[in-house]
Structure 1
Amino acid sequence: MKPVLVLYYSRSGATRQMARLIARGVEEQGVETWLRTIDCAEPQDPVVTQAELEEASALALGSPTRFGGMAAPMKAFWDDTAAQWLAGSLVDKPACVFTSAASLHGGHESTLLTMMVPLLHHGMLVLGLPYTEPALHHTQSGGTPYGPSHWALEKGISADEKTLCLAMGRRLADIAKRMAP
């Protein structure tokens, strides 16, 4: 099975921490991950290639919230995927989204929803977090049925947020394994 791509953009490090937790959840299911970032000044992980985007068996996509939407560099990345759209190279791949925001009511859910739009245009199969995840019922700092979220002004990622990131990674890997040829 081809690796799962965990692709993120992060400036303060919170989204990167979430990406690493999601990758760990994927790996707990025995699936390899490619932890990648988009082109930025000081990448902490390798910068994604178009080939990796196309070859990955599934995608977890993360961006900080900027005024209720994904960060401009992440939007610009997706604006440059017309070749993949024309070729249909992402069709039927499972995908999920995650975000961090500087305020509790800063647009976590709207960011996750807007991040889903290019994935849907590419024909990807977007996964959320079902309410069978107990942490969704009592988290007070982030987490939604649309995907993991984090209130970045809190002191680190909360236990519930960590649980939800790991669960999202496990779910993405499980679905990718079921769909693998």
Structure 2
Amino acid sequence: MSQTKQVLILYYSRHGAIAAMAQQIARGVDSVAQTEARLRTVAPVSEVCASVAASIPETGAPYACLEDLKTCDALALGSPGRFGNMAAPLKYFLEKTSSLWLSGELVGKPAGVFTSTSSLHGGQESTLLSMMTPLLHHGMLITGLPYTQADLISTQTGGTPYGPSHVAGSENKPTLSAEEQRLCRALGKRLAELAHKL
């Protein structure tokens, strides 16, 4: 009997869309036997990159610590797009992972990424690529979504082979389309299955 695998879903969400995506990814993770999703977020930062939040969030997922990364078997990393790049709070957290890089703690673990933008052409794919870069430096094994996911062909909202995405619109609506939900769940399931296989 194999042991329970943990998939860390680490994200920053400002208007709720990324948090909604994280919940759907968790559903996909939890659909795989002996796999558990662990939701974690990061604190907002000020313009001088100092934490501006209390040490424990009032609602939602707890703040991540390096131990969460160290002990996970797989990782889903999510951020809203900021001019085609990940948001500063997530980047700030990742820049504090040098000790994990030096010790090789993340080498060989599967990872995937997800994002949300206000517009369909708001830099979704470049945001996803920006999140992959530090994960590659950590030696993680990046997975996306294969085109066997029919929603990648038919979606009129979010969804890319680089990872799930959401189009929030100018009003930043966190409600995910049916295709976006299915693609999020597909990434969660894929990471969970890879965690067991690897």
1:46 positional shift: 0.8
**Structure 1: which amino acid aligns with 2:40?**
R
Q: Deviations over 1:77-106 (max 9, x none)?
A: 111111000000000000000000011111
Q: Indicate yes or no: 2:18 matched with 1:15.
A: yes
Partner of 1:80: 96
Code of the aligned partner of 1:80: K
Q: Verify the 8 A CA contact 2:5 2:195 in the aligned structure 1.
A: no
Q: 1:127 aligns with which of 143, 153, 171?
A: 143
Matches within 5 A, 1:83-162: 83-153=99-169, 156-162=175-181
Contact 1:2 1:55 in 2 (8 A): no
Distance 2:167 2:97 in 1: 30
1:45 to 61, 79, 84: 61
- How far apart are 1:39 and its partner, in Å? 2.3
TM-score, length of structure 2 as denominator length = 0.88
**Is the partner of 1:3 in helix, strand or coil?**
strand
Cα distance between partner residues in 2 of 1:97 and 1:34 = 15
Tell me, yes or no, if structure 1 residue 166 matches structure 2 residue 169: no
Counterpart of 2:77 in structure 1 is: 61
> 1:176 — aligned with what?
195
Structure 1 unpaired stretches of 5+:
none
Shift of 1:38: 1.1
**Where do 1:24-39 residues align within 5 Å?**
24-30=27-33, 31-39=35-43
Alpha-carbon distance, 1:146 to partner: 0.1
Q: Percent identity?
A: 58
SS of the equivalent of 1:32 reads strand
Q: Which runs of 5+ in 2 are unaligned?
A: 45-52
Q: Secondary structure at the match of 1:150?
A: strand
Q: Secondary structure at the match of 2:187?
A: helix
The 1-side partners of 2:164 and 2:118 are apart by 15
| Superposition deviation, residue 2 in structure 1 | 3.4
C-alpha distance in 2 between matches for 1:52 and 1:70: 20
> Would you say 1:71 and 2:87 are equivalent positions?
yes
Once residues 81 and 2 of structure 1 are traced to their aligned partners in structure 2, the CA distance between those partners, rounded to angstroms, is 22
Aligned to 1:4: 7
Q: Distance in 2 between matches of 1:171 and 1:44?
A: 24
TM-score (norm 1): 0.96
AA at the equivalent of 2:164: P
Root mean square deviation of aligned Cα: 1.2
